[in-house]
Amino acid sequence: MALPNLAFVTAGQFIYLTRPAVNIDYLLLGSVAGLLSKRTAMVVYAVLLTNDAFVSLSPVFHFGLDTALTSVTLALVMRLVFSWRAVLLLGGVASVAIIGERITRDGERRVRPSLLIVALLVLGVDTLGGTSAWYRTDAALLRVNVATSALYKTTAVIGRELVGARANVMAPRVLSGPPATDALRSSLIAGSHTDSLGARHVLLVIVESLGHSVDRNGDSTVLAPLLSLSIRARYDIRSGTVRTHGATTSGELRELCNIDADYRVVDEVDANACLPSLFRAHRFRTIAVHGYTQGFFARYQWYPRIGFDQVVFAEQLTQQSGIALCGTTFRGVCDADASRAVAQQLTSAPLDEQRFVYWLTLTSHLPVDRRAASASTLDCQQIEGAQQSKDVCALMRMHRLVAEEVASIALDPALPRTRFVLVGDHPPPFFSRTTRSVFGAEDVPFVELIPKPAFRH
């Protein structure tokens, strides 16, 4: 039963996989295999292995699991299952199934409750480690997402599709207040040219779980690198808070498309009214960067739809040398490495090209990995809420790192004049009520940097 898990862990050393270390489906099968005939056990084993490969590898091929499942019929119609990649994959599945059956042949013919106990222990470690999807926690003790059930994931997605969950999605709604990008949008709509932007390039940064601190000085302390004297010498600064509703994709669509919605209704959105499309209409090249897999929330599909010319996700970033991974349940490219890719997009643009670059950060996604904040300069003793909770402290220290990275880009002497907007997506979804109370329930902070005329070169 260890062979399939070992195979995927090994594969993860060569390709970008988001699969947890152990799929307990094999342990559950092993515990009851003695009740099945040899042929039945072999078939079930092969089915579990095929499903595991399908769930684990669908992000590699740019699919979320729901999208991948709905694409199976299309793959059959187009005979994609007969492509060399599909044949190679099925051959690998069959080989692992045969080898696994032969290795465990003697043990497969009796009931093995010990494997059920092992499965429960693995789930227990996953839960105590803070990476379980079934048990919410504020922080992760382990850097590795320990356990999953690929069968559960597949049946859950199929169940949602059967009950028509998507049919119940609400249509886009009007925002309750202006987004942080409101001034950008107004400049693009009102101006016949981009001089009103006061910049050649524009960078929008949406920061994962950046909440509005109820501590009077909390936001300014966390975002201090963007409010420093060196920044003020080059930029005019606007700061404040904006109203927010929903999870990360709602925060994205709030800032990108000026609507209250999430990714499930992107098809109903007027894409021409979204910022990337507006910038593209002004002949900007539009680029999106995100350190997680492109199949998550189908971003690889709807980012281009709302106007992005180029999308860069973990699958592309991890092909570069020196890229490190951070996070636990949502493990992807560290923000520090993603920020370098963002900076390169701005500094390497041809002289006759203007760019709108969008960066959605990742490392501060809950459950937090406190070790990811080790390089931060934030002293949590400066903020009352951070003093009370190690998890809040770690999260704020991660947000300080993002502010430092953006400030470093803004102060780069080689950077053409660039306008910056940095804003949170939603308040941090801490499980503890006490911890959640450190942040406003419906507001996130923002900072906008507008180049001063003396630096508009």
pLDDT tens readout for residues 113-139: 787 788 778 877 877 777 776 666 666
Please tell me the predicted confidence (pLDDT) of residue 275.
Answer: 96
Judge whether 313 and 299 are in contact, CB under 8 Å: yes
Q: Rounded to 5 degrees, what angle do the CA atoms 111, 117, 122 make? A: 130
Q: Which residue has the higher pLDDT, 15 or 407?
A: 407
Cα–Cα dist 61/357, whole Å? 24
Superfamily of domain 182-455: Alkaline Phosphatase, subunit A (3.40.720.10)
Q: What is the mean pLDDT of residues 384-408?
A: 93
Where residue 159 falls among pLDDT bands split at 50, 70, 90?
Answer: confident
Which stretches within 60-207 are classed as H helix?
65-70, 72-77, 84-103, 113-128, 150-162, 182-190
**Range with lowest mean pLDDT among 184-193, 209-218, 255-264:** 184-193
Q: What is the chain's mean pLDDT, rounded? A: 82
Query: Which DSSP state fits 375?
Result: T
Cα–Cα dist 277/308, whole Å? 7
Q: Which residue has the higher pLDDT, 431 or 311?
A: 311
What are the DSSP calls for 185-241, one per residue?
A: HHHHHH-SSGGGGTSSEEEEEEETT---BSSTTHHHHHTGGGSSHHHHHHEEEEEEE
Predicted TM-score of the model (pTM): 0.74
Q: Which residue has the higher pLDDT, 347 or 191?
A: 347
Comparing CA positions, the residue from 211, 206, 218 lying closest to residue 181 is: 206
Q: Which residue has the higher pLDDT, 3 or 400?
A: 400
**Range with lowest mean pLDDT among 42-46, 74-78, 144-148, 377-381:** 74-78
Domain locations in the chain as residue ranges: 2-168, 182-455
What are the DSSP calls for 340-356, one per residue?
A: HHHHHHHHSS-TT-EEE
Dihedrals phi, psi of 88, to nearest 5 degrees = -65, -40
Query: What are the beta bridge partners of residue 203?
Result: 357, 420
Judge whether 72 and 78 are in contact, CB under 8 Å: no
Please tell me the predicted confidence (pLDDT) of residue 62.
Answer: 40
Is residue 7 scored above 90 in pLDDT? no
Judge whether 31 and 111 are in contact, CB under 8 Å: yes
